[in-house]
Amino acid sequence: MICHEAGDLLPAYLDHELTGPTLHLLEEHLAGCAACRTEIARQSALDARVAILRSSVPSAGIIAGVMRRVAGEPVARRSFGSLMQRLSYLAALAVILIVAVASAFALLPGRRAGSPPAASNPARLYLLRHEPVGSLLVLDAATLSPVSIIPLGANPTGLSVAPDGQRIYVSGGLGDVTVTEQSGLAMAGVWVLDGRAMTVTDSIPVGYAVWDVARGASAVQLLLTLQPTGRYLRTEGAGPDLQLPGRPAGQLLSLDTASRKTAVLADLGALPRALVTTPDGKLAFAISHDAVAYEDTTLTIVDIPARRTLATIAVPNSEALAVAPNGQRVFVAPVSEPYIHVIERSNLMETVSYRLAGLPGGAEVRQIAVSADGLLLALALAGNNGADGGLVILDTRRFDTLLALPVPGGYGAVAFAPDRKTVYAATPGGRLDVIESPGGRLVKSVEGVSNVWRIVVK
């Protein structure tokens, strides 16, 4: 596909109307064409700007006041001259109102493409889409209608959204950075996004394989899990994900987004993966795997301000990780074992494991989500080797299974709505479901949302 053909398809792509081979061909083209990704960002910003303009109408109070003024004098008593004067007055008033609305729009720096919702507005869904073309898709959480789509480079893997939605951070491969001779891989790092304008404002190279990102103790501090020598070690005749002994340790990295400087906080296992931090930014929890025995997994707990490792705990064959909103508990789920591991902040050296009921045999846990009150836990399970995946919801007080919903193919990402009454779950095949929690009733779904790697609701 050439740029001219891709350009004709971009409006339909932004409206999520493309499917099948056409969608696949376009996404392949976008993965390698920075010019077309820039054009997508331009069109997306324009669409959002038009949507805001459509909503910029005079308030009900202004309209009612004008109507009262118009109705204040009976028409029968007006002379032709006074009527013309009245019409001239109304025309002038209309012009003033239009100019006032336009001026208010122009003077608000945040009222541009994709400005964040006010406190009374519905929440937003941030869907991080992985290969073949990385992007951040933003939806209205109530209607599932698109707000914006932000093209990124290849292989985005981590997503962090500030509580007010004004800053968004995405970790992964920075596809437009020059490939290095040392590893044959493009540099990786962090995309910095303006949540109001819905644009990428900066991309900060860090290393060769950044996996996950989380917010630190300050507004400018980010934490990253990093493999210093690259995610892959390439040798002649070997596959792209060869695991070799002697691989250097992974790292937990601190990044100051203002100065763009990094510092190592702790050493991790050879293959770092998931990362979470407590809301106060004082503790970090990072999962990493052994380079050869991949199922040998450890959870490293780090005191962020002190830059000190507090504990390293064995959590075999685990990848899914979540922290309670109050920061007092951390949850770890093995990929294919019916257990959940729980670590209390009051006793970081002890892990309590609960056996779960209702997990489909052969399914793999891909992601954990915690409700805003910390009382519910949702597990997204992907099908494996023909087995069904699905959704499991647990009560975190006794870890009883409240819902075990089988779904062909299962889910790869999940998040709770702010009121915990529904969950959002994305299938590998490109469908986003809204499911009643914990009842399991399908409330709504949309198709064409493919390759969702992570869901955040703010």
The tens-digit pLDDT sequence of the chain (458 residues) is 788 887 788 777 766 667 667 776 776 677 667 677 667 656 654 544 443 344 334 444 444 554 555 455 444 444 445 445 554 554 555 544 454 444 443 333 333 333 343 344 568 999 999 865 689 999 999 999 999 999 887 678 999 999 889 999 999 877 544 444 444 455 689 999 999 999 999 999 888 778 999 999 999 999 999 886 644 444 444 444 445 555 678 999 999 999 999 999 999 998 899 999 999 999 999 999 987 788 999 999 999 999 999 999 999 999 999 999 999 999 999 998 999 999 999 999 999 999 998 887 788 999 999 999 999 999 999 987 777 899 999 999 999 999 999 999 999 999 999 999 999 999 988 999 999 999 999 999 999 888 899 999 99
Closest CA to 215 of 170, 259, 149, 174: 170
Residue 86 identity? R
- Return d(Cα 367, Cα 332) in angstroms, integer: 10
Structure tokens at 165: 């939605």
| Cβ-based neighbours of 95, under 8 Å, separated by 6 or more | none
Q: How far is CA 369 from CA 101, 235, 322, 456, in A?
A: 41, 38, 6, 9
Structure letter (DSSP) for residue 110:
T
- Return d(Cα 287, Cα 295) in angstroms, integer: 12
Cis-peptide, bond into residue 438, ω within 30° of zero: yes
- Return d(Cα 415, Cα 432) in angstroms, integer: 11
pLDDT of residue 138: 95
Closest CA to 378 of 406, 347, 420: 420
- Return d(Cα 172, Cα 195) in angstroms, integer: 19
Work out the angle at residue 325's Cα, subtended by the Cα atoms of residues 323 and 331, and round it to the nearest 5 degrees: 25
Q: Report the Cα 291 to chain-centroid distance in Å.
A: 28
- Return d(Cα 223, Cα 272) in angstroms, integer: 13
Class in CATH terms, 315-458: mainly beta
- Return d(Cα 271, Cα 287) in angstroms, integer: 9
- Per the listing, tokens 């493309």 go with 18
C-alpha Rg value of the chain to the nearest Å: 25
Structure tokens at 304: 């962020």
- Per the listing, tokens 């955040």 go with 456
- Return d(Cα 374, Cα 125) in angstroms, integer: 19
- Return d(Cα 428, Cα 413) in angstroms, integer: 9
Query: At 81, is the secondary structure helix, strand, or coil?
Result: helix
- Return d(Cα 215, Cα 308) in angstroms, integer: 17
Structure tokens at 144: 């599932």
Structure tokens at 438: 């914990």
Q: How many CB atoms lie within 10 A of CB 359?
A: 22
Strand partners, 339: 355
